[in-house]
Amino acid sequence: MRKNILEWSLMKEMIETTTNLYRLGWDERNGGNISILLDEQELSRYLDVTCVLRKIPIDFDASKLARHYLLVTGSGKYFKNIKKSPEESLGIIRINETGTELDILWGFSNEGFPTSELPTHLMSHIARKKVDTTHRVVMHNHATHLLAMSFTHELSEKAMTKTLWKMCTECLVVFPEGIGIIPWLVPGTNEIGEITAEKLKEVRLVLWPFHGIYGTGKNLDDVFGLIETAEKAAEVYTYVKSQGGIMQEMTDEQLKKLAKQFKVIPRKGYI
Ligand code: 2HA
Ligand code: ZN
Tens-place pLDDT, residues 156-166:
999 999 999 99
What's the chain's average pLDDT?
98
Q: What is the mean pLDDT of residues 110-139?
A: 97
Nearest-angstrom CA–CA distance, 91 and 47: 12
Partnered with residue 91 across adjacent β-strands are 72, 107
Please check whether residues 169 and 262 belong to one and the same domain. yes
* Residue 106 confidence (pLDDT): 98
Please check whether residues 88 and 129 belong to one and the same domain. no
Helix (H, G, I), strand (E, B), or coil: what is residue 226? helix
Closest ligand 1 atom to 140 CA: 2
Please check whether residues 189 and 211 belong to one and the same domain. yes
Domain end call among 83, 116, 149 = 116
* Residue 94 confidence (pLDDT): 98
Please check whether residues 14 and 111 belong to one and the same domain. yes
pLDDT in tens, 30-46: 999 999 999 999 999 99
Please check whether residues 84 and 123 belong to one and the same domain. no
Please check whether residues 253 and 126 belong to one and the same domain. yes
Q: Is the alpha carbon torsion for 4, 27, 236, 165 positive or negative?
A: positive
Please check whether residues 137 and 261 belong to one and the same domain. yes
Instruction: List residues near ligand 1 (CB under 6 A).
Output: 30-33, 115-117, 140, 187
Q: Is the alpha carbon torsion for 14, 199, 263, 256 positive or negative?
A: negative
Mutate to test the pocket of ligand 1, among 18, 75, 117 (most ligand atoms within 8 A of CB): 117
Please check whether residues 59 and 152 belong to one and the same domain. no
Identify the band that residue 203 occupies on the pLDDT scale cut at 50, 70 and 90: very high
Examine the pLDDT at 71 and tell me if it is beyond 90.
Answer: yes
Domain range for 200 is 117-271
Catalytic residue status for 7: no
Domain end call among 55, 86, 116 = 116
Name which residue sits closest to atom 4 of ligand 1, judged by CA. 31
Domain end call among 52, 84, 116 = 116
What's the gap in Å between 254 CA and the centre of ligand 2?
35
- CA angle 130/27/214 to nearest 5° reads 20
148 phi and psi, to 5 degrees? -60, -40
Ligand at minimal distance from the CA of 212 is 2
Identify the band that residue 105 occupies on the pLDDT scale cut at 50, 70 and 90: very high
Please check whether residues 80 and 147 belong to one and the same domain. no
Identify the band that residue 1 occupies on the pLDDT scale cut at 50, 70 and 90: confident
In the sheet that 54-57 helps form, which strands lie side by side, from edge to edge? 54-57, 101-107, 90-95, 69-73, 33-38, 137-141, 212-217, 205-208, 180-181
Please check whether residues 201 and 251 belong to one and the same domain. yes
DSSP state of 115: -
Residue 73, C-beta contacts closer than 8 angstroms, at least 6 positions apart: 18, 32, 33, 34, 35, 79, 82, 89, 90, 114, 115
What's the gap in Å between 3 CA and the centre of ligand 1?
32
What's the gap in Å between 102 CA and the centre of ligand 1?
20
* Residue 111 confidence (pLDDT): 94
In total, how many domains does the chain have? 2
pLDDT in tens, 232-268: 999 999 999 999 999 999 999 999 999 999 999 999 9
Please check whether residues 128 and 221 belong to one and the same domain. yes
**Annotated catalytic residue, options 28, 88, 97, 117:** 117
Nearest-angstrom CA–CA distance, 115 and 130: 23
User: What is the secondary structure of 241-253 as a DSSP string?
Assistant: HHTTS-S----HH
Please check whether residues 214 and 240 belong to one and the same domain. yes
- Whose CA is closest to 267, among 131, 166, 158? 158
Question: Which CATH number covers residue 12?
Answer: 3.40.225.10
- Whose CA is closest to 33, among 232, 216, 182, 164? 216
